[in-house]
Amino acid sequence: YTSTVHTVTLFLNIFGCLAWFYVDATRGVDFGLSILWFLLFTPCSFVCWYRPLYGAFRSDSSFRFFVFFFVYICQFAVHVLQAAGFQRWGNCGWISSLTSLNKSIPVGIMMTIIAALFTASAVISLVMFKKVHGLYRTTGASFEKAQQEFATGVMSSKTVQTAAANAASTAATSAAQNVFKGN
């Protein structure tokens, strides 16, 4: 539900920023960024945290859990920033909504509702993080296991092996040429 709540909030944010732009012509940047955030964060939330989480549970992969945790912490930070609502950042957060109340009370109320939804998204994300972390702890996964999986996965990759061989060959050739040039 986290992704759905955030997507709906981002969609409503477009209308909140449009209303703010309607009553204050200097808020065009907020409206434009609200569209960008909707188009960017909606697919990114699916690709960047839902898929790694699904893969982590499916394959019991410590590395994928750590990818999820890293991305999800970043997403939580974005939720908090959106809830704060700094002006000219394209979000109807608390700062923006309280500022807009000076221009138009209906627009301010609409933006306050959106700020509450951004806050709810942040809270839901935190609860979701705690639940996933609790489940992660029951799987026996660890940071050391994630490092081992990463090293094993990287070294078994044919692309990485080819790149390493090419780099070693180039370095050896260059070193040999430098030695023979000196004599």
Q: What is the pLDDT of residues 135-161, one digit of tens each?
A: 887 877 666 666 666 666 655 556 655
Print the domain residue range for 56.
2-141
Query: Looking at the structure, do residues 137 and 168 belong to the same domain, yes or no?
Result: no
In tens, the pLDDT along 91-117 reads: 999 999 999 999 999 999 999 999 999
User: What pLDDT was estimated at residue 92?
Assistant: 92
Within a domain: residue 148?
A: yes
In tens, the pLDDT along 26-52 reads: 999 999 999 999 999 988 888 877 787
pTM, whole model, 2 decimals?
0.75
Domain count, the chain: 2
User: What pLDDT was estimated at residue 25?
Assistant: 92
Query: Looking at the structure, do residues 118 and 159 belong to the same domain, yes or no?
Result: no
Within a domain: residue 183?
A: no
Within a domain: residue 119?
A: yes
Distance CA 115, CA 16 (A): 10
Q: Following DSSP, what letter does each residue of 17-76 receive, concatenated? A: HHHHHHH-GGGHHHHHHHHHHHHHHHHHHIIIIIHHHHHHHHHT-HHHHHHHHHHHHHHH
In tens, the pLDDT along 79-95 reads: 999 999 998 999 999 99
Contacts made by residues 161-166, CB under 8 angstroms, sequence distance 24+? none
What average pLDDT does the chain have? 84
Query: Looking at the structure, do residues 131 and 149 belong to the same domain, yes or no?
Result: no
Q: How many CA atoms lie within 13 A of 101 on its CB side?
A: 9
Query: Looking at the structure, do residues 158 and 92 belong to the same domain, yes or no?
Result: no
Average pLDDT over residues 117-126: 94
